């Protein structure tokens, strides 16, 4: 199973918990990719999302059914933009959003968010969504995560004492990914659609 770790805004694969999480997952047998993205405002004051999608495509390659994509903070929305913007022949096993904001007030960043993404389409772009958020996060209130979890029908993992996950080590993230790996997937996107149509 491959894990793609996407850093947050104005960060890098050397920031926050990624330098710890990547080798921790490798030690457990996962293949790990840590894309380096220009996830920051350009000199013109905007986000060049098509360029970011291409950066992801170049470094992550084709997404497979054994992939887990993990995005931290605004990196979670970069993952969603990627899933919406690229052609995929397989559906990734899971998307894990760590401390994701529902929206921000900064207008330059708004187009990264859910208002400009089609949640109904994205629901089918991964077999499972997981939202991890700490209730003591002062940068992004936990209500943001609850809204996202509801929109994506995601498993919601609430923690305490982790803030905005800006530190170096968070064992809960290993636990979440190991849990995804250990659980056989119970249904594929759209599997129950026939029954729902047959029994209006």
112-167 pLDDT tens trace = 554 455 666 676 788 999 999 999 999 999 998 998 898 888 999 999 999 999 99
pLDDT exceeds 50 at position 189: no
The candidate with the shortest Cα–Cα distance to 93, out of 53, 129, 133, 145, is 129
pLDDT exceeds 90 at position 179: yes
Q: Tell me what the pLDDT averaged over the chain comes to.
A: 84
CATH number of 128's domain: 3.40.50.1820
Domain housing 110: 2-198
**CB 65, CB 89: distance < 8 Å:** no
Q: How many domains does the chain have?
A: 1
Lay out the sheet containing 155-159: strands in order across. 31-33, 2-6, 67-72, 94-98, 129-134, 155-159
């Amino acid at each position: 199973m491959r894990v793609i770790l996407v850093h947050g805004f104005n960060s890098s694969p050397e920031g926050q918990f990624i330098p710890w999480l990547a080798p921790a997952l490798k030690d457990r047998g996962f293949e790990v990719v840590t894309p380096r993205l220009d996830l920051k405002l350009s000199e013109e004051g905007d986000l060049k999302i098509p360029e970011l999608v291409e950066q992801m495509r170049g470094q992550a390659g084709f997404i497979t059914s054994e992939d887990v994509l993990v995005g931290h903070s605004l990196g979670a929305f970069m993952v969603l933009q990627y899933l919406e913007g690229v052609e995929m022949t397989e559906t990734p096993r899971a998307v894990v959003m760590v401390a994701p904001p529902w929206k921000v007030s900064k207008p330059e960043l708004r187009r990264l968010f859910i208002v400009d993404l089609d949640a109904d389409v994205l629901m089918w772009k991964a077999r499972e969504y997981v939202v991890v958020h700490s209730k003591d996060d002062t940068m992004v209130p936990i209500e943001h995560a609850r809204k996202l979890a509801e929109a994506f029908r995601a498993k919601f993992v609430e923690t305490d004492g982790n803030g905005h996950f800006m530190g170096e080590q968070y064992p809960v993230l290993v636990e979440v990914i190991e849990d995804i790996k250990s659980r056989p997937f119970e249904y594929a996107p759209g599997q129950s659609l026939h029954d729902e149509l047959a029994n209006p």
